[in-house]
Amino acid sequence: MTAYRDTFQFLPSGAVTLKGPLGTALEKSIENRLKKVNYANLVRPFRLRDENDNGWRCEFWGKVVRSAIRSWRCTRDPELLRIIRETVDDLCSTQTPDGCISTYPEALHTTHWDIWGRKYAMLGLARYYHEIEPSEKIREVLRRCLDHLIGEVGPGARRIVDCGMHGGLAASSILGAVIQAARITGEKRFLDYARWIVEQGGSADGNIFTAAGNGTPPARLGNGKAYEMTSCFEGLLEYYRETGNPAFLEEAAAYYRGVRDREIFITGGGGLKDRVGEFWDEGTLRQTHADAGGFGETCITVTWLRFCSLILRITGDSSAVDEMERSFYNALLGAALPDASCWAHVNPTPLAGASCRKPADDQILHCFQKPFDGHDCCLAQGPEGLATAPCTAILRDERGPVVNLYEACEAAVPLTPDSYVKLSITGNYPDDPEVSITLAMDSEKTFALRLRIPAWSRNTAVRVNGKPIQARPGTYLTLERTWKNGDRIDIAFDFSLRVLPAPDGCGRVALMRGPILLAQDSRLGEVDRAIRPGDSVIVETTSVPDIRRIYRLADGSLLCDYASAGNRFSEDNTLCVWMKTIPR
């Protein structure tokens, strides 16, 4: 029933295996986090409905299960599948005859985080339906769940923007889940309900969708709560996919540009203002300010990645992959412990000056003095960010494969219902600039292979079977021809050192090499010392445990990749991103 066909599509489940830093982190995340969660404890509040302290225990099940299902999509791990099936059954068993799935007692229904939590439960079930088991049972559970909500909050009852936290943003973000339920059940009345939500505009403080379309900066939309707001715009894009009305796409695209240009840090994360880095507040400009609050809630990074993934698939705009690549290799990998067993909630603050990473602690214990198994929103959602990488690395359109990420990888890309091409990417990207792509197929085939040429790679050398091809930065290079088994593409990206001045003119600089942000780390020398960057770096052969790559600057000082910097997650392991410079 989708009215609009995306420009790019996901490959089938299990089609892409990443073997570089993202693929390695995903495997660790499955073993050291997703298989270790006590899922029964996440379902317990749904069974007891005793969340009477206005908490958000309701969100964890859906977040963790969405992370698990998307991770399973990448690896098809049988143990993880067993865990997912069991906990989905367990959650469904909490649905009461009235259709309710909630952690809140009836008297508190629709208040505080209740609708937000129901959203994650519905999204978890919808993802299960799409990826694992499209069963009548899940369809019915979703149908009854949404009918129950419509009875409590709907036309003739109450407005959704008057419900819950952050001026209606949290409740309104159920839009995406409503559309999933409409797709799965085929119920037109659910699309009518989605329209009713869209018409209220996401916030009691004014319509954030039309305001974004009119160029209002993200920090001035609603109360500025970054991740709830982005979640509403994810819903708007899903609504666009159903209706095909270009006005909704234009509003969401304007929001994308606003966040990209005004809020995202050089790390690819965003969010500041409060203690834990959760609001839009002109973050691009303020990322060097020590008084800007905590930085970069990991939930924002993950929601930004999901939002960019939708923009990419709908529009084919390669700038969305440039954004995602920066977030994947810097903000996201940098927020995980090296063994991916835990995640940071707030990221190093400030980015200018020495700071450290710390693992998220039990958010419910911290806020309500009652422990909840160590859960934190970012710990629940970080693994989903990792699992977004294989789903982005290689996509396809009707003409052939679309290569977005270049870390080592194996992929099987369907061309027609009964033929496919295998792509093998080799090299040491994102740490080294040279990459080779080899094609394997059983007979010659004519198709277009698209290669993302990042905007930062000013001079990219592409050779097909040794023959040079022109490539333009910030676009897809389309190679359309008759391909044969063993054809090979060699790419050398432009890894020239980029010295980037701080956006607020404070005089500090950040250094990037390819998609990788470089940083000072206390294991490699004094942090927040002034540097003289020079024009290039030397890759060091010395090693320090858990530091992926060390670089030597012209002045002799040592830096490392941002994701490794401070990854002991301890106060004595500091890092600095925006560095002071010695005048030449």
Burial 37-67 (b: 16+ CB within 10 A, else e): bebeebbbbbeebebeeebbbbbbbbbbbbb
305 is a site residue for Zn ion (CB under 5 A): no
CB of residue 299 to Zn ion, shortest distance in Å: 3
Which is nearest to 384 in space by CA: 104, 73, 128? 73
Residue 23 vs 224, nearer CB to Zn ion: 224
Residue 378 vs 565, nearer CB to Zn ion: 378
**How far apart, in whole angstroms, are the C-alpha atoms of residue 462 and residue 312?**
23
CB of residue 277 to Zn ion, shortest distance in Å: 9
- How far is CA 14 from its chain centroid? 19
**How far apart, in whole angstroms, are the C-alpha atoms of residue 168 and residue 345?**
23
CB of residue 270 to Zn ion, shortest distance in Å: 12
Query: DSSP character for 204?
Result: T
Residue 385 · residue 1 · CB < 8 Å: no
Which range binds Zn ion by CB under 5 A, 39-47, 137-145, 294-302, 348-356? 294-302
CB of residue 271 to Zn ion, shortest distance in Å: 9
299 is a site residue for Zn ion (CB under 5 A): yes
Rg of the chain on CA atoms, in Å: 23
Which range binds Zn ion by CB under 5 A, 194-202, 370-378, 403-411, 571-579? 370-378
Q: Which H helix or E strand runs over 410? A: strand 409-416
Which range binds Zn ion by CB under 5 A, 31-39, 375-383, 419-427, 519-527? 375-383
Q: Which H helix or E strand runs over 309? A: helix 298-315
Residue 378 vs 403, nearer CB to Zn ion: 378
Figure out which of the listed residues 30, 377, 387, 579 binds Zn ion, where binding follows CB under 5 A: 377
Residue 248 vs 372, nearer CB to Zn ion: 372
Q: Which residue's structure tokens are 């410079």?
A: 581
Query: DSSP character for 569?
Result: -
Query: DSSP character for 31?
Result: I
CB of residue 381 to Zn ion, shortest distance in Å: 6
Number of residues that bind Zn ion (CB under 5 A): 4
Residue 185 vs 381, nearer CB to Zn ion: 381
Spell out, one character per residue from 534 to 563, where the chain touches Zn ion: x when CB under 5 A holds, - when not.
------------------------------
CB of residue 78 to Zn ion, shortest distance in Å: 30
Residue 237 vs 377, nearer CB to Zn ion: 377
CB of residue 343 to Zn ion, shortest distance in Å: 9
Residue 344 vs 547, nearer CB to Zn ion: 344
Residue 362 · residue 294 · CB < 8 Å: no
Cα separations (Å) of 112 from 109, 170, 430?
A: 9, 9, 42
The pair of structure tokens assigned to 210 is 């039309």
378 is a site residue for Zn ion (CB under 5 A): yes
Residue 203 vs 231, nearer CB to Zn ion: 231
Range 520-539, binding Zn ion (CB under 5 A): none
CB of residue 367 to Zn ion, shortest distance in Å: 13
Residue 373 · residue 361 · CB < 8 Å: no
Cα separations (Å) of 347 from 231, 275, 331, 516, 577?
A: 20, 11, 8, 17, 12
Q: List residues near Zn ion by CB under 5 A.
A: 297, 299, 377-378
